[in-house]
Amino acid sequence: MLKSSEQIIQEALEELKKSENFLEIDEILDFNQEKVLNAFRAHKIGEEHFYTVSGYGHDDLGRE
């Protein structure tokens, strides 16, 4: 019987969780993500800082 893609992914994740390297990398990822998010909060970076602007001032924050 063929396995669904969800079953294959779940089995792969279970195997990865058994690996110490995977857990260590996961902890580093969480730590670094928290540092970045804290820096964004400290410098009041919001989603508006990632918008693209056309240069014509249409709907730009500085024009309102």
Per run of 10 residues, the mean pLDDT along the chain (length 64 residues) is 91 88 91 98 91 68 58
Q: What is the pLDDT of residue 9?
A: 95
Q: What is the pLDDT of residue 64?
A: 53
CA 62 to each of CA 15, 20, 40, 41, 56: distance values in angstroms, whole numbers, following the listed order: 51, 49, 21, 21, 11
Q: What is the pLDDT of residue 1?
A: 74
Q: What is the pLDDT of residue 61?
A: 63
| pTM score, whole prediction | 0.58
Spell out the domain ranges in the chain. 5-63
What's the whole-number average pLDDT of the chain? 86
Q: What is the pLDDT of residue 30?
A: 96
